[in-house]
Amino acid sequence: MILFLALALSMAEEPTDEMKRDIMALELFLQDKVDHEKICPKVCWEQPELSVYKEKLESQLPEECKE
């Protein structure tokens, strides 16, 4: 997935601020998914929609799941 994002960025001459924000949000979304499964799979958590990540640009994991 990261390779795909890097390729998309390299294809665009200059990514717009909106595109950069979208990429950052997607990376956070995917990282939260992986971290939840790896760090705290027993903690009940429903991952928010990608739009929440785009708005806040920060991890949405519960505190007990953050290392």
pLDDT score for 9 = 61
Distance CA 3, CA 47 (A): 23
Res 16: pLDDT? 85
SS3 breakdown of the chain: % helix, strand, coil, rounded to 5? 65, 0, 35
Distance CA 38, CA 35 (A): 5
Give pTM, 2 decimals: 0.75
Burial 42-66 (b: 16+ CB within 10 A, else e): eeeeeeeeeeebbeeeeebbeeebe
Query: Maximum CA pair distance of the chain?
Result: 43
Q: What is the pLDDT along the chain (67 residues), one digit of tens a residue?
A: 556 666 666 655 666 889 999 999 999 999 999 999 999 999 999 999 999 999 999 999 999 998 7
